[in-house]
Amino acid sequence: MTSKDRGDTVKINVSGRVVMDYVYRSSELTFTAVQGGGPIEPGTTFVEGELGVRFDVELSDKMSVVVEIGKERVDASALLPFIGGTQTTNEDIVIREAHLMINDFLTPGLKAQVGISTWNFDVRGKGSAFAFDPRYSQSILRNWSTAEDTVAAWAGRGDDPEELNPAGIVLTYTKDNITVDVVALPNVIEGGNASLDESLYAIDLWYGLDSMGKGSRLGVIAAISSFGDVPGTPVSGSQSNMITVGGGLTVKFMDGALEIYAEGYVQTGHAGRADIAGVEEDVKAGGNAFQIGFEYHLPNNANNIWFGANLTSISGDGDDVADEDVDGFLSYENVRDLAILEDQYYGMDVDTNYQAIKIFAGASVSFMGGNNNLVFQATVGIVKANKDIVTSGTEDEDKLGNEFDLRTTWNLNKQVALTSVFGYLVDSDVLEDSMGGSGVDGADSKAILATIGMDVKF
């Protein structure tokens, strides 16, 4: 519909999504909210999820606006109940997305996105960014530390889900098989004074390698992260300039049946200030991270059988006393392969001082008249800390555990899916020690997560 005063508006698309999950967490997972205190809480269940109504407005052939309102899944480091509940009282309808998109901005081939940014640096392009996805991540300061991990700090970070609303401008220029993003997000987190804002500035370049296999590409990035006061550090605020450089490569062979990927990052520069033995000191960043893996889909199989493996390594701080270095890798990651150890909505979202070998397998079958509409994925993770974690006992620990996950998705049609997740973590010495050790009643090295829910798009 158009009107005299809005004649350039040519189309409005209205869409939406409802995600609702019934989630059970055993007492070992609910304990992460207690952080070393007691008594240990029993397992709990909540109905969690999100709701969004989205408006895509085409103002002209070169300009469009996106606005989405609804209920968020997490806010202020807390899970939000979908309906009622006692997790938090913040259940307001909020603006989830809002940005203006301008095509051929200043020159042909240049796009500008202004507002809440949806930019990420996702090498595989599957919604699992290894280092940069500020829209679906916590503060980059979440893992900031100048000394080695303790079990209390490790457990505390497991109760810290968050989604950010990074605001700024992203310029994207595309020509042939080259794409360049220039990212200016001065307000990833608003801190009041400009020097206290958490900010991100980056430039990335993507080079398409379709000649090697359709969908293959190489990406490189250089980013500067700026922030002020570091939480829990009693020093005067200072503007930091932490530099992250890296990139990745994904190559697809055999008409896309085999994908091999790798990416890595290093950090340097000024990571704020800290109180070191009673003296304010400048702190240097020294984190690093990499992953390498593959995924193979069996050719000409009716059930889309596939398998893959991944090796992930994310640095931690191994210094037994506080010093002038932050050696843990600080990022805006969005990896959720393991429901208990990696998922920020269901589990603990461990994303620093982390080393994992992950093995995946999946298949789909036809169910109740559908065509391969029941999808299964099994995941095994063998996980340890890169650097020992300080316990309350006589020996430090590094074993985060072995995790076994099963995910199922029943696609009733293109709009409606029923989902379930079952996760089982065993042999997690760090988890048990975070609860006080084997001598504490209720402390355990295993944990269980189970969900069943729906995902509706309209």
pLDDT digits (tens, 9 = 90+) for 41-56: 677 888 899 999 999 9
Q: What is the mean pLDDT of the chain?
A: 89
> Cα(303)–Cα(216) distance, rounded to whole angstroms?
25
pTM, two decimals, is: 0.91
Residue 224 CA: distances (Å) to CA of 136, 202, 268, 335: 19, 6, 10, 21
Q: Give 239: exposed, middle or buried? Use CB within 10 Å, 0-12, 13-18, 19+.
A: middle
Query: CATH no. for residue 266?
Result: 2.40.160.100
Q: What is the mean pLDDT of residues 308-319?
A: 92
What pLDDT is stored for residue 213 in this prediction? 92
Q: Look up residue 330 and give its two tokens.
A: 């600080």
Helix (H, G, I), strand (E, B) or coil at 431: helix
> Cα(270)–Cα(228) distance, rounded to whole angstroms?
11
- Tell me the residue range of the domain where 338 lies: 4-457
> Cα(143)–Cα(140) distance, rounded to whole angstroms?
7
What pLDDT is stored for residue 88 in this prediction? 47
Q: Look up residue 369 and give its two tokens.
A: 């008249």
For the ranges 197-206, 208-217, 388-397, which has the lowest average pLDDT? 388-397
Smallest CA-to-CA distance from 310 within 352, 354, 358, 342 is with: 358
Helix (H, G, I), strand (E, B) or coil at 430: helix
CA-derived radius of gyration, the chain: 23
pLDDT in tens, 97-148: 999 999 999 999 999 999 999 999 999 999 999 999 999 999 999 999 888 8
Smallest CA-to-CA distance from 141 within 90, 188, 88 is with: 188
Q: Give 128: exposed, middle or buried? Use CB within 10 Å, 0-12, 13-18, 19+.
A: middle
Domains contained in the chain, number: 1
Smallest CA-to-CA distance from 139 within 352, 391, 409 is with: 352
Helix (H, G, I), strand (E, B) or coil at 108: coil
Q: How far is CA 349 from the centre of its chain?
A: 8
